[in-house]
Amino acid sequence: MAWQCLSAVNAESTALLVSVVPNAKRTEAVGLHDGCLRVRLAAPALEGRANDELIAWLADQLGVARREVVLQQGASSRRKRLVIAIEPDRVMRWLDGLQLPLS
């Protein structure tokens, strides 16, 4: 499956577009929206808490350290671009494993 939300930065790094919904009951990926992975966050959009929750969740999901997930764009926006220090194929396999509905 081709993921529009995913692009290779180089052989060892991947850019991921994410659309976030803060103040959810739990943090989870729920589908695709406008070319982005849609993620509900169990944190408010206040004082960077939602961004911290997103970075921690992605690091945990992908099995990398938090320092390997960098918020590159969208710190104060619902639409974010993150760069993750792992191979694009690994992120693609993770996305395929989520079995998200296509929208």
pTM of the model: 0.92
Indicate the fold that domain 6-98 takes in CATH. Answer: Conserved Hypothetical Protein Mth637; Chain: A; (3.30.1200)
pLDDT at 1: 52
pLDDT at 2: 57
pLDDT at 99: 80
- Over residues 66-75, mean pLDDT: 97
Provide the residue count of the chain: 103
Q: Is 97 exposed, middle or buried (0-12, 13-18, 19+ CB in 10 A)?
A: exposed
pLDDT at 18: 97
pLDDT at 102: 61
Report domain extents, the chain.
6-98
What angle do the packed helices 88-98 and 49-62 form, to 10 degrees?
Answer: 100
* Residue 71 pLDDT greater than 70, yes or no: yes
**% of the chain exceeding 70 in pLDDT:** 95
Q: Is residue 46 very low, low, confident or very high in pLDDT (cuts 50, 70, 90)?
A: very high
